[in-house]
Amino acid sequence: IVLTQSPGTLSLSPGERATLSCRASQSVSSSFLAWYQQKPGQAPRLLIYGASNRATGIPDRFSGSGSGTDFTLTISRLEPDDFAVYYCQQYVNSPPYTFGQGTKLEIK
Amino acid sequence: QVHLQESGPGLVKPSETLSLTCAVSGFAITSGYFWGWVRQPPGKGLEWIGNIYQTGTTYFNPSLKRRVTVSVDTSKNQFSLKLTSVTAADTAVYYCARHMMVRGEIGAFDVWGQGTMVTVSS
């Protein structure tokens, strides 16, 4: 399964709303789609699993939605700490558990 | 608190074998989870390599399957990665991570190691 994220780069200002897209080459059960945040020099951090469930400690300004082949990560009000690269990942039964190519969220 | 720590050589010669170990602390590796490896070439995205269960059951990325071995040492609470016949294309940060288990099925990676940079060069 190939995951395509868009846009490649998103330029926004703090306080704005961010909408990141992840499209799968074939249907992915929503139970098997995750979003991660990665900052420079750090390991990825799990934000969302099962398409819409926030991981432990993740603020409620992060939300995930979608089903089938189209999934979305929304950050309702951007804070300075949110500017990073975001990856989606599918983990449907059969490996490989592929990642999207990433969306870089940068400060405008 | 679960902590994962990768260790191994930072420099490997072309055609040789890359060997890394992930030490797990604060959590028993035999607690019914899958443990995996992910890599990230400099400036690029994430690539899932493979994973292992406490029983030794493994799954691999087909693109790497011929060259990858993942093993578990429950007595040391750690698991390991071996990648043979390396080339410059294998230069990357290598992460170990824990898969969540959701209703008995493999889930997302919820705990990650800090990563270790491995360079393939003569």
Q: How confident is the model over B26-66, as pLDDT tens digits?
A: 999 999 999 999 999 999 999 999 999 988 999 999 999 99
Cβ contact B91:B42 at 8 Å: yes
Cβ-defined contact of A99 to B106 (cutoff 8 Å): no
pLDDT confidence of residue A13: 97
Checking if the pLDDT of B106 tops 90, the result is no
pLDDT digits (tens, 9 = 90+) for A21-44: 999 999 988 779 999 999 999 999
Q: Which residues of B touch A34 (CB under 8 A)?
A: 107-109
Mutate to test the interface with A, among B109, B110, B111, B114 (most CBs of A within 10 A): B109
pLDDT at position A93 is 67
Report the DSSP beta bridge partners of residue A42. Answer: none
Distance CA B116, CA B111 (A): 15
pLDDT band at A73 (very low <50, low <70, confident <90, very high): very high
Q: How far is CA A70 from the centre of its chain?
A: 12
Q: Which residues of A touch B38 (CB under 8 A)?
A: 44
Round the CA-based radius of gyration of chain A to a whole number and report it: 13
Which of B1, B3, B48, B59 to mutate against chain A (most A CBs within 10 Å)? B48
**In this complex, do B46 and A87 lie within 8 Å of one another by their Cβ atoms?**
yes
Give the one of B61, B107, B115 whose C-beta lies nearest to A96's C-beta.
Answer: B61
Q: How far is A34 from chain B (nearest CA, A)?
A: 6
The CA distances from residue B33 to A13, A99, B90, in Å, are 40, 20, 27
